[in-house]
Structures are given as structure tokens and as C-alpha cells.
Chains A and B, each alone.
Chain A
Amino acid sequence: MAGGDGTEVFSEEELKLPPCKYEYLDHTADVQLHAWGDSLKEAFEQCGIAMYGYMTELETVEIKQSAIIEAEGHDLESLLYKFLDELLFLFSCEPYLICSKVTITEFKTDGEELRIKCKCYGEEFTLGKHPQGTEVKAITYSAMQIINEPEKGKCEVFVIIDI
């Protein structure tokens, strides 16, 4: 929704940041993201935030604009890979968006074509305002693990990102 001065207006619900359910694990050359949640959808969202968290200090990011991304895959791994690649792409060129919150609005994980639609909240990365963290070059399939056992309360993902 656009406000009177052209900036986006967000509801209170949209501005609320999720709790932190991710960590950075040891890897010799790169960084392994470990994210979890009550559902696989939440684990995916957390993994996205974890990646943004490596690029800057997320506390400095205000929610001022949003973007919608879509990702498709033929299995869970390729879906996660494409999802993170889309998030990285949002940051890497126009609109240079750094996000402190991502909300998956469509999460289709059955059938031939798996699909994610996601709304990403943040603002344009600005030198001086946002401390420069480390650049993420790409997402990798290396040692990627997706644990999807919601009945046991175990939804986790492990992704190595190339630094």
C-alpha cells in the first residue's frame, strides 16, 4: 500500500520482527547457516534472514519498503536454493534491498513444481547507515540438509553460503 508521499505504509503486524531462530556454524572457507522453526516455512524464512544478517547488522535496518519474490524448484533443496538466490538478487542490484523480515505467503511443497511466494520487508542498503558485513557470493548445495519433521517439532535447514 502506498502512503501520501509515495512511501509504503505497513500494518503493525507487518512491522513486527520475528524471533531469531538461526545461527552461524563453523565451516573452513565459508559460512553454514542453520535455521529452524515450528514449520518448514518458518525455517525457510529464518534462513533468509540469517543470510541478510551476515551482510549487515539487522538492527540498523528499518522497514520502509517491500518486494515480492517468487521461486520454483523440483524438490525441496532446489526450492530453498532458488529462494535464497532470489533474496540475494534483491540485495545485489536494483532495488538493493536489505531485509529484516521475510514472510512466505505461498508455500507449495508437494507435486511436480514446488513454489514459494514471499514478501520481503526492509530498505535500500545505504553505506553509512548500514554497517558493511560480509558479501555473500552465492548459495551452495554443498552439505545442504533439510529436516522436515513437524510432528516431532523438528524443522531445520542447513545451507552453506559462499563468502
Chain B
Amino acid sequence: MVVRKFEEELKYMEKLNPYCWKIKKGFQPNMNVEGVFYVNSTLEKLMLDELKNACRPGMTGGFLPGVKQIANVAALPGIVGKSIGLPDVHSGYGFAIGNMAAFDMNDPNSVVSPGGVGFDINCGVRLLRTNLFENDVAPVKEQLAQSLFDHIPVGVGSKGIIPMNARDLEEALEMGMDWSLREGYVWAEDKEHCEEYGRMLNADPNKVSFRAKKRGLPQLGTLGAGNHYAEIQVVDEIYDKWAACKMGIEEKGQVCVMIHSGSRGFGHQVATDALVQMEKAMSRDKIETNDRQLACARINSQEGQDYLKSMAAAANFAWVNRSSMTFLTRQAFAKQFQTTPDDLDMHVIYDVSHNIAKVEEHVVDGKLKTLLVHRKGSTRAFPPNHPLIPVDYQLTGQPVLIGGTMGTCSYVLTGTEQGMIETYGSTCHGAGRALSRAKSRRNLDYTDVLAKLEEMGISIRVASPKLVMEEAPESYKNVTDVVNTCHSAGISKKCIKLRPIAVIKG
């Protein structure tokens, strides 16, 4: 990494408008394109503080700030347009979290990078609606939270309860949600409301290592830990009545369930294996990157193709995983209210993927191009009339689900034409961390955090008390700042605000 004084570093950055900064070439070596990031004044401070902290020449330890990572991505071969940081951007590994970048499929030098997808392949958010209202749920809130916690395996070392053997896994990897549908875990219409209809067709389980399958098998149908959660939420605000109506959200107080999870150990291992493979390909093809974690391979190389096929299998795993938890959630609700999920109108509003790479068509400098779009901690947000979004949302634009943090709020946005042009139809994915996990553990007390949640009327079931501190709202950026920045910058549009009343976490 180039280390200069903070004042020197600032010369490479320029504020384009109140919501957008440019990172000029030269900020990091070999940048092919410029970088850009979207922030408001509050988020801007966090971003620049992260950089300031890293400007200490000669120190050991330390890590790369998000702005440097955005610039490193801009140095990857075949990148087109810009390396883009969304408002929740912060330091990750390889790519920043909240970073998207597109590569020209027709340029033989273009690369695919597992670091641009992340270890949790197809981590994403699913939102279910119900026809219940807050006052229906309030009297049984504790029981319902407990029931969800009992139904869904959470936390480190928990194992799935959906019966599954090695052959089932192979089929699930190939079929994605079609497998869940065949086995009776989801409804046919759930698929309609998923990106890619819950199945990536290029998935090839034969390209996946035995290790990944072994790691994935016991974890299918588990929530995981870290920032993953299942929340019972109520509609707190409706900004776009018409679009909300299309999603089956009629008025304030309506109860929804949000599930945030990914491909579990399966995806983590697929990414780990790919990283090792690609290191070899890089030395063979003489590809140089600024950061070892940005290991990549040419899209058309064997390693590149193998990764895309195994990544697709991991994406399918994640959809089956979220579908299994959808099933468990529907069961928990049906038991509590002694009715059927159908009568509770528990439809999937939408399911988004925020760690993924996809082949998409976009207009670059006036020309239609086929691009490999990497979104890491970034959500696809396609505008109205886009052919790849379901018929129900053709006029509203794609619903974009933004999971907040424990005890704050979540949002539903819709995609816009401006976002399609400026950010290749991408927007933020969540709040984004502000405090480090270690700092949260030191500075916060878990009983305080729990007491505060109780005060706000939020029931919580959590497997690990330490996680409560790490995941406390104070550890994150304000999700409202993030969403408002997306809205003001025009890259997506606010539709619904949701407030949690019960949280299930690892």
C-alpha cells in the first residue's frame, strides 16, 4: 500500500456533489479507472477517519481502509466505468464491503475475483409479508420469538434439521429453489420473487470440492452467526404507497419477517478453494494485483470458469438455505396462530443477493456491453421495465431489501433509472459497520445493550452474548443515513420502512 500523509491522500479525492466523491488515478498504483463513493456528511467523516487511521507510515499490523480498497479494485484488469463504493462502504478484505465493479466480458484480459463476491457467496435478504398486524402479534410476541428461535438453528456449531444426504445436496446445488419446491419446502410463487428465480443455471456441482460439500451438508437450513438474523418486523412508514401496494403492504403496523443469511460453510469453502486455485493462475498468466486477497483469474480461463460454476452452486445453496428457513418460519407462525401459512398470506415479497457476481447487459459510454458485475455488500437495484425483474414489479422497479442492525430499522427501496446508469443498477446492502468488533466488545456491556432493546420493545433471542455487543446498533453506521444517501443521490428510491419487534440471532 502507498502510505502518504493524510493531507497528501486528500489531494487524490474530490467531492463531486453533496453525496458523491471521486478517487483519482494514482491514489493506488496501476488504477485503470477512477473510483467513486457515495456518502453524506456523516458517512463521509467515518470514511475519512478510516483512511486517517491508516496513514501511519512504518507501523506493523493495521489494515487497508475502504477508500484504498476501492482504488485497488480500480486497478484490476478489464474493469469498466468506475470502481464504486456505496453509502455503507467500509473496509473489508480485497474489495471493500459495499463495493461494486463491472468487467467487460468481451475483453480477453477481464477477470473474475472471488474477493469481489466475498466468502459468503449469495449472502442475501428475504422479506416475507403476513396479513397480521402489530396488535395481533403483541400479546404473543415472546412466544413467537421463542418459537422462531426453536425452529431455526442459529449460531456457531448448530446443525440443520432439514433431512439431507449427500445425493440431496448434489441435487440442491444444481437445482437451487427448484429443489426446495420439489421437496415441498416452498411455494411455486416464491421463486418468481427471487433474483434469478432462485436458481443459477450454470451451477456445476462437479466443480465443487469434496471439502466444500462436507462443510456444507450439516449446515443447510441454518442461520449462521455474525450479522445474520431473522427478525419479526412491522411496517413503520410507507413512502411510496403505490409501490408498497404492489408488494402486498397495505398500511402501517403490518407484520413482516426478514431473513438475512447466506451459503454458510459451503460458500465459505468454495471461495477459499478458489482463492488458492487463482493464486496459481495469476502467476501463470502474469496478472498482478495490489492486494493478495484480490486474487483473480481471467474470466475465460479454466480457473475463472470453474469458479463461476462453483459460485453458482453456492448461490443455489444459499437460496435453498433461505428457503428452508422460510419453511421453518411459516411453520412457527402457523403453529402460533393455529392456522396455515397460506391463510396468513405469508408470501415472499422479494429475495436479494448482496454478495454475488452476475453476467448482465449495461450501457457503457453509449454502447450496450455484456459485463460481469461483482457486487460485494451491494444489492442489485434494477429500474422499472427491466426484463429481468418479475412481472409484479415491472412498473415499480425491483424491490431492494436493506437489512438494518439489531434494534434499528430496515428498508425496502426500489430500483431507479438513474441507478442503472450511474452504478450499474446497484445500491447499498445494509448499515455497514462503523466500530470494530473488538472495540465493541471492549466498550459496550451486553446487559446494557439488552436492556436498551427491551426498552424499545424488542424481544431478542441470541445464541452468543458477545455477539450482542459486536452487533449492537452503536457498532454500525446509521442505516437511515445510508438509505437517505441512496435516495438523495437517486440510485434507488425509498418505499417502506420496517421496525423490528423481535430478533433471532446467532
Q: Mark B6-50, 1 if CB is under 8 A from A, else 0.
A: 000000000000000000000000000000000000000000001
Partner of A93, one of B64, B158, B265, B438: B265
- Closest B residue by C-beta to A85: B272
Shortest distance in angstroms between A62's beta carbon and chain B's nearest beta carbon? 16
- Asked whether A116 is an interface residue with its Cβ less than 8 Å from the other chain, the reply is no
Q: Mark A81-100, 1 if CB is under 8 A from B, else 0.
A: 11001000101111010100
Alpha-carbon separation in the docked complex, A96 to B265 (Å): 13
Known: A132-B225, A132-B463. A137 touches B268 (CB 8 A): yes
Residues of B contacting A38 with CB < 8 Å? Answer: none
Q: Mark B156-180, 1 if CB is under 8 A from A, else 0.
A: 1110000000000000000000000
Interface hits, A31-77 → B, CB 8 Å? 31-32, 34, 55-56, 74, 77
* A77 x B292 contact (CB < 8 A): yes
- Asked whether B57 is an interface residue with its Cβ less than 8 Å from the other chain, the reply is no
* A132 x B464 contact (CB < 8 A): yes
Known: A93-B218, A137-B119, A143-B63. A132 touches B437 (CB 8 A): no
Interface hits, B279-296 → A, CB 8 Å? 279, 291-293, 295
Q: Mark B417-452, 1 if CB is under 8 A from A, else 0.
A: 000000000000000011111110000000000000
Alpha-carbon separation in the docked complex, A25 to B92 (Å): 14
Shortest distance in angstroms between A73's beta carbon and chain B's nearest beta carbon? 9
* A29 x B97 contact (CB < 8 A): yes
- Asked whether B90 is an interface residue with its Cβ less than 8 Å from the other chain, the reply is yes
* B225 x A134 contact (CB < 8 A): yes
- Asked whether A22 is an interface residue with its Cβ less than 8 Å from the other chain, the reply is no
Chain B residues touching A, range = 35 or more
Residues of B contacting A32 with CB < 8 Å? Answer: 61, 63, 438
Residues of B contacting A131 with CB < 8 Å? Answer: 464-465
Alpha-carbon separation in the docked complex, A56 to B156 (Å): 9
- Asked whether B487 is an interface residue with its Cβ less than 8 Å from the other chain, the reply is no
Residues of A contacting B225 with CB < 8 Å? Answer: 132, 134-135
Which among A56, A74, A138 has the highest number of chain B CB atoms within 10 Å?
Answer: A138
Stretch from A4-12, A107-115, A155-163 at the B interface: A155-163
- Asked whether A147 is an interface residue with its Cβ less than 8 Å from the other chain, the reply is yes
* A138 x B271 contact (CB < 8 A): yes
- Asked whether A133 is an interface residue with its Cβ less than 8 Å from the other chain, the reply is yes
Partner of A133, one of B90, B91, B156, B265: B156
Residues of A contacting B463 with CB < 8 Å? Answer: 132
* A143 x B276 contact (CB < 8 A): no
- Closest B residue by C-beta to A154: B60
Shortest distance in angstroms between A115's beta carbon and chain B's nearest beta carbon? 15
Residues of A contacting B295 with CB < 8 Å? Answer: 141
Residues of B contacting A77 with CB < 8 Å? Answer: 292
Shortest distance in angstroms between A71's beta carbon and chain B's nearest beta carbon? 11
* A163 x B438 contact (CB < 8 A): no
- Asked whether A140 is an interface residue with its Cβ less than 8 Å from the other chain, the reply is yes
Residues of B contacting A82 with CB < 8 Å? Answer: 276
Residues of A contacting B390 with CB < 8 Å? Answer: none
* B438 x A31 contact (CB < 8 A): yes
* B433 x A135 contact (CB < 8 A): no
Shortest distance in angstroms between B106's beta carbon and chain A's nearest beta carbon? 30
- Asked whether B186 is an interface residue with its Cβ less than 8 Å from the other chain, the reply is no
Shortest distance in angstroms between A75's beta carbon and chain B's nearest beta carbon? 10
Alpha-carbon separation in the docked complex, A145 to B279 (Å): 17
- Asked whether B453 is an interface residue with its Cβ less than 8 Å from the other chain, the reply is no
Residues of A contacting B93 with CB < 8 Å? Answer: 29-30, 140-143, 160, 162
* B211 x A27 contact (CB < 8 A): no
- Asked whether B62 is an interface residue with its Cβ less than 8 Å from the other chain, the reply is yes
Residues of A contacting B265 with CB < 8 Å? Answer: 92-93, 137
- Asked whether A104 is an interface residue with its Cβ less than 8 Å from the other chain, the reply is no
- Asked whether B496 is an interface residue with its Cβ less than 8 Å from the other chain, the reply is no
- Asked whether B275 is an interface residue with its Cβ less than 8 Å from the other chain, the reply is yes
- Closest A residue by C-beta to B63: A143
* A141 x B293 contact (CB < 8 A): yes
Shortest distance in angstroms between A151's beta carbon and chain B's nearest beta carbon? 17
24 A-B pairs with C-beta separation under 8 A: A26-B438, A27-B91, A28-B434, A29-B92, A29-B93, A29-B433, A55-B156, A81-B276, A93-B215, A93-B217, A132-B158, A132-B463, A133-B467, A134-B225, A134-B467, A135-B506, A137-B119, A139-B272, A141-B93, A141-B293, A142-B94, A142-B291, A142-B292, A145-B61
